[in-house]
Amino acid sequence: MRPLIEAGYVYIGLSPLYRLKEGNKYIYLLDEKELSAYLNDRIFKNYEVYLDKEGKKLTKTEISKLINQSQRYTDKVKELANHYSIQPIFVEFLLNNMNTIKSNDIEKIQTKLDNNKFNLKAIKVKDQINISGYFSNIYYNLNIDENLIIDLAEVKGFNEVSNYLYIKENEKVARYYLAAGLIYLLNQVTPKYLNRLKGLGESDPEELFETTMDPEKRKVIKVEIDDFDLADSVMEILMGKKAELRRQFLADNTTSKELDI
C-alpha cells in the first residue's frame, strides 16, 4: 500500500452526510456546509428577509451570514428555553424587556405589557416578579428570580445583530424576534424527509454507486501521508484491540467542535 500512496494512486471516496427528498427525487448533501447552502437558497427563493422594516432585502449571501452570526445566540435561546420549560419566543420577549423587568417596578412592568398589548399580568411575589398569562397562544406562569436575570443577561450578550427580523411572506411583512424568525424560516424550508446518513454500511449497491462511486459525480480526496511510522502507530491505536488506548487517543486529540459522530 505504501508505494501506491507515495505514487499518488490512492483516493478516498466521500459519502454524503444527508439525504433529502424533493418531489420524487432524492438529493444527497455532502456535509453541514452543503445543507446550510441548500436551506439558505430555499429561504432566499421563498421569502424576503429584512433587518429593518424600511431597509433593503437581504441577499442570499447576507442571509447566510446572518444565520451564521446568529447561530450561537439562537442555540443559547433554545438552551435557556429548555432549562426553564418555556418557548424560545418567550425567552426573547424577556430579553427584549430586560431593562423594564430588572427595574422591579410592578407598575412600570405592567404598563409596558399593556402598551404592547400583551395578555400578561405582572405581580410581585415576595422579592420576585411573577408574569402570567397567554403569550403566543401559550399560557405562562413564571417567577423571574435572580438566576433567570443572570442567564438572560448572558444570552443577550450573544446577540450582535438585531433584536428583530422582518419576513415578507405572501405579500405580508411580519416582525419576529431574531431567533424566533430564524427558527421559523429554517423550519419552513427544511424538507420533511431529511435523513442524516450513518455511513456506507447502510447504503444499498445502487445508492452507493449514485452517491459515492459514480465516476461522473463522485467526490474524492487523495491520500497523502508525510510520516508513515506515525500513521502506522495511530492506525494501530484506532483499529487495534486495546480500547483504553483508543479512548485516550480520542480524548487527547478531538474537541467538541471537531468531533462528528
How, if at all, do strands 18-22 and 25-29 pair? antiparallel
CA pair distance 55, 84, nearest whole angstrom: 35
The pLDDT of residue 259 is: 47
- Residue range 200-209: mean pLDDT, rounded: 80
The pLDDT of residue 200 is: 74
Give every CB contact of residue 76 below 8 A, 6+ residues apart in sequence. 154, 155, 158
- Residue range 147-152: mean pLDDT, rounded: 92
Question: Mean pLDDT, the chain, as a whole number?
Answer: 89
Residue-wise pLDDT tens digits, 49-81: 999 888 899 999 999 999 999 999 999 999 999
**Per-residue confidence at 204, pLDDT binned at 50, 70, 90?**
confident
The pLDDT of residue 255 is: 64
**b vs e for 170-181, b when ≥16 Cβ sit within 10 Å of the residue's Cβ?**
eeeeeebbbbbb
The pLDDT of residue 218 is: 86
Residue 185 reports pLDDT greater than 60: yes
Domains of the chain: 11-46+193-224 (3.30.1490.440), 48-190 (no CATH), 225-261 (no CATH)
**Per-residue confidence at 253, pLDDT binned at 50, 70, 90?**
confident
User: Contact, 213 vs 13, CB < 8 A?
Assistant: yes
The pLDDT of residue 133 is: 94
Model pTM above 0.85: no
**Per-residue confidence at 257, pLDDT binned at 50, 70, 90?**
very low
The pLDDT of residue 261 is: 44
Q: Which long-range contacts (CB under 8 A, 24 or more apart) does 161-164 make?
A: 161/51, 161/66, 161/69, 161/70, 161/73, 162/51, 162/52, 163/95, 163/96, 164/51
CA pair distance 183, 43, nearest whole angstrom: 12
**Per-residue confidence at 26, pLDDT binned at 50, 70, 90?**
confident
- Residue range 40-45: mean pLDDT, rounded: 94
